[in-house]
Amino acid sequence: MPTTKIPPFQNETYKDYTQPRERKAMEAALKKTASQVGEIYPLVIGGEHLATSETIASRNPARPSEIVGNFAKGTVKHAEQALQSAAKAFETWSRVPFEKRANLLFKAAKIARRRRYEINAWMVREVGKNWAEADADTAEAIDFLEFYAREMLRLGGPQPLHQLKGEKDWLEYLPLGVGVIVPPWNFPFAILVGMSSAAIVTGNTVVLKPSSDSPMMGWLYHEIMEEAGLPAGVLNLLTAPGGEVGDYLVDSPITRFVSFTGSKQVGLRVAHNAAAPREGQKWIKRVVAEMGGKDAIVVARDADLDAAADGIVTSAYGFQGQKCSACSRAIIEEAVYPKMLQKIVERVNAIEVGDPLENKRVGPVVNERAYKSILSYIDIGRKEGRVVAGGEPAGMEGYYIKPTVVADIAPTARLAQEEIFGPVLAVIPVKNFDEAIEVANNTEYGLTGAVYSKSRKNIEKAEREFFVGNLYINRKCTGAMVGAHPFGGFNMSGTDSKAGGHDYLLLFMQAKSIAEKIEAKKPARKAQKGKSKR
């Protein structure tokens, strides 16, 4: 248990790489990781390190010939072994006092801080984030550890209820059981840590299957939790292709819940498969899913146009647009459309594209499959609108695509409806603010959105009618902060999980109400006058 009073939660401060000390520390971490590329990493099941005959190569998207690491390729047999290990560990971990579980997360946060530059460096190398984006990712992971530890201290133990006469009434939260954790590659440390740690601190045990594009982040998390004192079997690391083990993990009667972040297509498959009861299954499986978006920033005619242009470009091209919260649609009133388009294009043309190891603002997209898919969408954009910036590969080794702006897109065009997940912005003209909100709501998603306007009437309309899980007024639509912006969306964006908020841990627990009858106390007998008390 923590030995000192826990201070209020505060978000981590980002590193400032313009400072010589910070830059030198990051350069040293990058140099160190360069000497470690290509090493072999095992599965971790029940605390045992298991090698396999085949491996998964994690490649640097900036230079695909560089293998970041070779990770053991798990099979269905390993998946079953991991589930069994987690089920066995649940028998004891679920009974560990919640204070001890919370304290383990506090310890993990301290370790992650100590290893922060190292984590950042591996992330730059493995998925192509620039230094600032990588550091924000690691900082968010630390925030999750700190926030969820405090949340467990709040939710642990008997919860007060209205007391009926003659009863003692209370409620307590119990862990669910064995969970399958399937995080994405785009926030490869933050989301992985947040999903896994929430499940673990609430008393569950997990099988963690990181993305095959970012398995190093799963390995680093395993190391941190092991050093923090997590018992064997509570966290089982299974690096394996989702197409080969995913259905098996979801379908297993051992699995009690699935926490998934990824594409709509895979998320719907998870939800569908989890809904079907399997032989020997005693529960309805719970699915926590976040499945992407087609996010819009609306610019009213009365907006601060420079602030709006800055917000759009930052939201659209941060980490190459590979964020579920990225601005992929700019919806602009006709009265200011030409000016706004010019401001956006000027800013986009000034973006420097290059190797994230050199801390360029925009790096490569994550892999060859994404590269080809994004370029195909740009070709669609040429038919549906005007490519006014970018629109082609950046002409260097790696999966680089120039930040692209496609103007004059209709609200129902494919570029306005389908998630591209890359550095492509569709710009949509509308007649007025009412139409802008209608267009903003006309996709199947509902994750994030933003509005730039000085009009209180417009802002209040957006607050009422812009149907997204995370709405931002006069600021960018990316950069949700743990504790301040609980994150999760509506419609096909997922189950509105609200990660980093006060509701999140409840998704990994079930409430047990207990009422105990209290025997009424009998009044003490009085001694009769004149008679002995003997």
DSSP state at residue 437: H
Strands 43-45 and 445-446: unpaired
Helix (H) or strand (E) holding 318: none
Report the alpha-carbon distance of residue 214 to residue 205 in Å, rounded. Answer: 22
State the Cα angle at 525 between 521 and 529, rounded to 5°.
165
Q: Which of 324, 327, 384, 419 is catalytic?
A: 324
Nearest to 161 by CA among 150, 172, 175: 172
Which residues is 424 bridged to in the sheet? 404
125, 398 Cβ separation under 8 angstroms:
no
* Residue 320 CB partners (closer than 8 Å, separation 6+): 128, 362, 363, 364, 365, 401, 422, 423
Active site residue 290: yes
Q: Which residue has the tokens 């004192």?
A: 229
Burial class (CB in 10 A: 0-12, 13-18, 19+), 490: middle
Nearest to 144 by CA among 494, 493, 480: 480
* Residue 291 CB partners (closer than 8 Å, separation 6+): 260, 261, 262, 263, 264, 267, 268, 324, 492, 493, 494
Tell me the backbone φ, ψ of residue 383, rounded to 5 degrees: -85, -30
Q: Which of 118, 133, 151, 290 is catalytic?
A: 290
List active site positions: 290, 324
